Amino acid sequence: MAKENLNPFVIAKEQIDRAGKKLKLEPGLLEILKHPKRELTVNFPVKMDDGTTKVFTGYRVQYNDARGPFKGGIRYHWNVSLDEVRALSCWMTWKCAVMDIPYGGAKGGIICNPKEMSKSELERMTRRYASEISIIIGPQKDIPAPDVYTDSQTMAWIMDTLSMNQGFAVPGSVTGKPISIGGSLGRDEATSRGLMYATREAAKRMKLNVKGSTVAVQGFGNVGYHYARLMQDELGAKIVAVSDSKGGIYSERGFDPKQVLVYKEKTGSVVGYPGTKKISNEDLLELDVDILAPSALENVITSENADRIRAKISAEGANGPTTPEADDILFKKGVLVIPDILANGGGVTVSYFEWVQDLANFFWTKQEVDQRLEGIMTRAFEGVWNMHNEKKVDMRQAAYMVAISRVVEAYKWRGIYP
């Protein structure tokens, strides 16, 4: 058991404190940065398929809009809590700032078990939740997107619910939509493509040849799957381990993630894929690989196991996979952590592209999307890398220092903190 506090919002505030100290921020300013601007809790009824009625609890937290409208995903999970949504909305703020895109940060979630709900129950729950939070979201105010166990279908239902109330289609109200209703080419793989570019930039600086390097990916959902595929198909890396909520698989010789996906779609899990050995999610993290990509949930690398991480690079596809105590241990060991707010910023970057395309009613080719994403990710990585070298801090503190400085600058111009 890890000895540190694993409450994600406590961790998020500690990360602000650490960077704030290095930036010598005034205590009053730090206090503002550690508080969400607005929080909405909604309890709403949903008719279940068996005729009973269930009350669900959902949240939307709008953390900071100093640099632009609020932006952030919606999560469906049984462990959703107000503090988790606060932390995720806080991380969104720094993510948009470090990528230098004109958004603030927000996040939403519903406490539910989507795996046990039918599609029509999910649709009714989504529409009711969208209706309840519609008083604070919209294309100029706060733009949701998918997160854990929500997808393009969820976004389409939200867009339709908001559009029904307006009387016309409002595609700019959510991102991560299907292409036919205003989605962007490349959005489905954008987080992973950005993660791949960030890994490439890190490897260059570590003098690690990505071609032939070994990669272990925790989580085989939207982020983990596309990352494994792109690392193999575009950079020639060898995928030796992947996992999902049922466990992981390992093969020294490597395997093709596209074939593993076909197997998972048939059987419900990656576990049992022919030619691989079953491993636990914990074992996967400690494998002797070049690149580790924690791409499932929070707090998987803690003070308890950080010392046993053997990867040279940890590319954080997930939000909040590493605790501050674990960061210190990894930094001392020389593991290069590409922090979540930078590493998985490709998702919100292409969400930003989607929103821009919706507002302009003018759509880009996949090549244009990828090229622009590559430019933004490479520049963001360079900014954080330079801060890391100049100030002799770990990559997470460097990313926070870049992001917080940008938000503080916006505060000063706007007079929010004169």
Give the interface with ligand NAD as residue ranges (CB under 6 A): 146-149, 191, 218-224, 243-245, 281, 295-297, 317-319, 344, 347
Q: Which residues contact 270 (CB under 8 A, 6 or more apart)?
A: 220, 242, 243, 244, 246, 247, 248, 249, 260, 263, 264
Minimum distance of ligand NAD from residue 159's CB (angstroms): 17
Tell me the C-alpha to C-alpha distance, in Å, between residue 410 and each of 95, 97, 100, 267: 15, 10, 12, 50
Q: What is the CA radius of gyration of the chain?
A: 20
Within its chain, how far is the Cα of 245 from the centroid? 17
Is 177 annotated as catalytic?
A: no
- Could you give the angle at the alpha carbon of 367 between the alpha carbons of 172 and 159, nearest 5°? 15
Q: How far is the CB of 341 from ligand NAD (least distance, A)?
A: 10
User: Which residue is catalytic, options 13, 71, 95, 107?
Assistant: 107
138: left (phi over 0), alpha (psi -120 to 50) or beta: left
3-state percent breakdown (helix, strand, coil) of the chain, nearest 5: 50, 20, 35
Q: At which residue do the structure tokens 């890391």 appear?
A: 388
Which residue lies nearer to ligand NAD by CB, 6 or 416? 6
CB of 343 to ligand NAD, least distance (A): 9
Q: How far is the CB of 222 from ligand NAD (least distance, A)?
A: 4
Smallest gap, in angstroms, from Cβ of residue 52 to ligand NAD?
27
Comparing CB distances to ligand NAD, the nearer of 291 and 393 is 291
How is residue 256 written in tokens? 């093709």
Contact 70, 104 (CB under 8 A): yes
Euclidean distance between CA atoms 225 and 227, whole angstroms: 5
**Which positions are annotated as active-site residues?**
107
